[in-house]
Copies of this chain bind each other. A is one copy, B any other.
Amino acid sequence: MARTQGSHSGITGPRVRDAALRLFARDGYAAVSMRQIAREVGVQAGALYNYTPDKQTLLFSLLKNHMDELLAEWAQVETSGSPLDRLERFARFHIRFNIERPEAIFISYMELRNLEPGNFAVIEDLRRTYEKELETILRDGGKSGVFDVPDPRIATMAVIAMLTGVNTWYRADGRLTLEQVETIYWDMVRKTVEA
């Protein structure tokens, strides 16, 4: 019978994932060995295989989890209102979500190429689903005349690139609060697409 208390599995499992996330983000998937992850957790390399069938699946699982969380949290954001309101919510949500988990975001952009084709397709599909959310907002605003977006797909990519860029320079101890950054970016995003 499985132990339900005092089992190390419930402790070691998350610690393996935490260590892998942190090390993959810092040094890159290819540069991090299973032995490094194990050392971080305080365990021998063999023990990791109680928690993942292999290294590739560990990476995929981290990314899949991240994307699921992204979509789940976005699903909880109010979706009613004008395209302008919805766009503001998206911009602020995107910045805040990304800043709160820089390591997962970093891996999501850097390690896609290290996913096997099948795994890559899954993540790519989830990413596209997320992008479609923004695209829909921009199309709605275009139809109603509030936005001027000659090419909604490109505008989507441009806005996401701009927002995602925050992670490359924002520091929690910097001169601006996250709220201030959100507002500055929201202002720029609004001007970018407004009619």
Please give the residue numbers on chain A whose beta carbons come within 8 Å of chain B beta carbons, in ascending order: 26-28, 30-31, 110, 113-114, 150-151, 154-155, 157-162, 164-166, 168-169, 176, 181, 184-185, 187-188, 191-194
Q: Is the CB of B161 within 8 A of A181?
A: no
Question: How far does the Cβ of A39 sit from chain B's closest Cβ, in whole Å?
Answer: 18
Main secondary structure, interface of A, reads: helix
Q: Which residues of B contact A113 (CB under 8 A)?
A: 26-28
With a CB–CB cut-off of 8 A, which chain B residues contact A28? 28, 30, 113-114
* Chain B nearest CB, measured from A29 CB (Å): 8
How far is it, in angstroms, between the C-alpha of A159 and the C-alpha of B188 when the chains are bound? 10
Bound complex: CA A30 to CA B194 (Å):
43
Known: A114-B31, A191-B194, A194-B191. A160 touches B165 (CB 8 A): yes
Residues in B whose Cβ lies below 8 Å from that of A158: 162, 165, 185, 188
